[in-house]
Amino acid sequence: MNPDRAAICDLLAEYGALIDMAKFDEWLGLFAEECRYQIVPRENFDRGLPAALVFCDSRAMLEDRIRALREANKYNIHTDRHVIGLPRISEDGPALEAPFAVFQTDQEGETRLFATGLYRDRLEISGRDLKIRDKLILLDTFAVPTLLATPL
Amino acid sequence: MSRHGLRPLRVGIIDGAVFGTLAEDAEPLEDYLGPPILAQLRRLFDRPVRVLGYNRQRIRGNWKLYAENTRDNYHASLLHEFLVTFGLDRSTQTGGVKMDARHRHNITWAEADSDTDEFAHQAYAGAGVRNDFLSLKEPSLVTFRPERDDKLNLVVTSVFPSAVFVQISNSLAVRQIRPRGVDEVEVFQTMLGYEDDPPEMTLHRLRQTNLVGPAGLVSMEDGEAIEIAHRASGPDPDRATIIELGGGGVISDRDYRVTDVPLRGFWSYYAELLGIEPEGAVR
């Protein structure tokens, strides 16, 4: 059975909201047990080059990323705001493609456009849940402002 | 070319790495680099490389702060807490700094498995620094696979003014420091592997690209640190702050990791080039 459009939109809404609320454990819960997460600069993707900014080809690596973010990495204190556009859905997979923008606001209330690009997700239906099996984030904003710490 | 107003560059090549300069009176490239730097470049480029991709980091700070960053050995295990938290790269390892005769370039180096966990625990506890090293769920992220007869698992070669050649574990890269005015710099990084890497080694390198770049587990902090330093130095252009971490005196190679002496080498040559050397300046 294919998931309906509403369920896929709910998943995307949860995805953005959980990052923006810094609920990273719950965010990890949106991924399948076997999953992949990559942020690839568009200039690499267009040339067929494989290097990513973030390359997690297992759930363990994605969990290490989040642990490092909590325990080790230092970064500018900010609020993320994900604005995720309407997805194009293909029943093969199922898969989706959705544009996104992430705005960052600093402690003085100044907002800048931090990143924009395209999500390409392959999903997995497990029981009543919809999980992300493979998330490819094509980053249009490949000149990364300052640093990229919290997930896109 | 003259009809289009293009300025010719003088170009030199070291095993495939192309250097360019607009200076008409520049010394021959090999003389400019000097033997230690040349040896490191020949080590890195001992086989044909394959470009794995690029990344770019825009930092709202002056480019010289980035040139300082790659020459400063203090900050690595203090600022880049990923290294210490997971006990990976430690000031207690065998390592040091090596410069050219004029001290304008620098090699920061360290050897794998050259200290014990016990020794590091004691040293870090004595210094009041975190020593409850955590472990990763996916250790291959940081596993070093030796590729040569040496044990070097960290080599950061800074070439004055704007090039950096980097080996961190098995991730290999060339960084170009591109000033975008006084207040902004782009760090443009080319990620490398070798043409004869088997697919499994390419995958290993792609995993280790997680360590470097604007989202690098080891390197991301540099962007924020440079912006803070740049902001702090802006308001009082006529005043100065000096922190002599490594003290003054002679600029020379060190066989220990806790030093920032190459940074003084950078500024000494910069001051010479700009004709702003103070009296009694150390070269």
One-letter amino acid of A31: F
pLDDT at residue A57 in the model: 96
CB B260 within 8 A of CB B245: yes
Tell me the pairing of strands B49-59 and A143-145.
parallel
Rounded to an integer, the average pLDDT of B157-176 is 97
Q: What is the ipTM of this complex?
A: 0.94
Tell me if residue B11 falls in helix, strand or coil: strand
The verdict on a CB contact (< 8 Å) between A74 and B221 is yes
| Range with top average pLDDT, B5-9, B182-186, B223-227 | B182-186
The overall average pLDDT reported for chain B is 90
What helix, strand, coil percent values describe chain A, rounded to 5? 25, 40, 30
Angle at B215 between CA A110 and CA B206, to 5 degrees: 160
Residue B131, pLDDT above cutoff 60: no
B72-107 per-residue burial string, b: 16 or more CB within 10 A, e: under 16: bbeebbebbbbbbbbbbbbbbbbbbbbbbeebbbbb
Q: Count Cβ atoms within 10 A of the Cβ of residue A150 and give its class: 0-12 exposed, 13-18 middle, 19 or more buried.
A: buried
pLDDT attached to residue B128:
58
Task: Say which of B52, B220, B221 has its CB closest to residue A50.
Answer: B52
DSSP alpha helices (H): ranges in A29-133?
A: 42-46, 59-71
Residue B125 has what pLDDT? 67
What letter would DSSP give residue B277? Answer: P
Residue A148 has pLDDT above 70, yes or no: yes
Q: Give the number of residues written for chain B.
A: 283
A32, B92, B142, B200, B278 from A58: Cα distances, Å: 10, 32, 15, 15, 55
| pLDDT at residue B134, as a whole number | 73
Give the span between the Cα atoms of B254 and B102, in whole angstroms.
15
- Above 80 in pLDDT, residue B120? no
Q: Which of A45, A112, A113, A147 to mutate to test the interface with B (most CBs of B within 10 A)?
A: A147
Q: What percent of chain A has pLDDT over 90?
A: 85
First vs last C-alpha separation in chain A: 29
Tell whether the model's pLDDT for residue B129 goes beyond 60.
no
**Residue B126: its pLDDT value, please?**
62
Q: How sure is the predictor about B234, in pLDDT bands with cuts at 50, 70 and 90?
A: confident
The residue that leads in pLDDT, B213 or B259, is B213
Contact of B76 with chain A, judged by CB distance below 8 Å, is answered with no
pLDDT digits (tens, 9 = 90+) for B42-92: 999 999 999 999 999 999 999 999 999 999 988 877 788 888 777 677 777
Nearest-neighbour CA in chain A from B278: distance (Å): 34
Which of these, A138, A88, A74, A144, lies nearest to A113 by C-alpha position? A144
- Separation of alpha carbons A65 and A17, rounded Å: 19
Q: Does the beta carbon of A101 lie under 8 angstroms from any beta carbon of chain B?
A: no
> B282, B226, B273: which is closest to B249 by C-alpha?
B282
> What is the C-alpha to C-alpha distance for residues B168 and B183, in angstroms, rounded to an integer?
28
Location of structure tokens 């509403």: A6
State how far the Cα of B152 lies from the Cα of B157, in Å rounded to an integer.
Answer: 13
Q: Would an 8 Å CB–CB cutoff place B59 in contact with chain A?
A: yes
**80-99 of B, contacting A, C-beta below 8 A:** 81-82, 84-86
How far apart (Å, rounded) are the C-alpha atoms in residues A27 and A16? Answer: 9
**Running DSSP on this structure, what letter comes out for residue B83?**
H
All residues of chain A having their beta carbon less than 8 Å from the beta carbon of residue B210 are: 54-56, 61, 65
CA distance A1 to chain B (A): 34
Percent of chain B with pLDDT over 90: 63
* pTM of the model as a whole: 0.93
Q: What is the pLDDT of residues A1-52, one digit of tens each?
A: 567 899 999 999 999 999 999 999 999 999 999 999 999 999 999 999 999 9
Chain A positions in Cβ-Cβ contact with residue B217 (cut-off 8 Å): 65, 68, 72-73
pLDDT band at residue B140 using 50, 70 and 90 as cut-offs: confident
Q: CB distance A41–B53 less than 8 Å?
A: yes
* A107 touching chain B per CB within 8 A: no
Q: Distance between CA atoms of A140 and A127, rounded to whole angstroms?
A: 35
pLDDT in tens, A39-50: 999 999 999 999
CB-based contact (8 Å) between B136 and chain A? yes
Element (H, E) at A90: strand A88-90
Q: What is the reported pLDDT for B121?
A: 67
Average pLDDT over chain A, rounded to an integer:
94
Q: CB–CB of B210 and A149 under 8 A? A: no
Other C-beta atoms closer than 10 Å to the C-beta of B25 total 6
The two tokens of residue B26 are: 């520049």
Residues of A in contact with B209 (CB under 8 A): 51-53, 55
Region A78-94 average pLDDT: 93
pLDDT value at B167 more than 90:
yes
Dist. CA B180–CA B183, nearest whole Å: 7
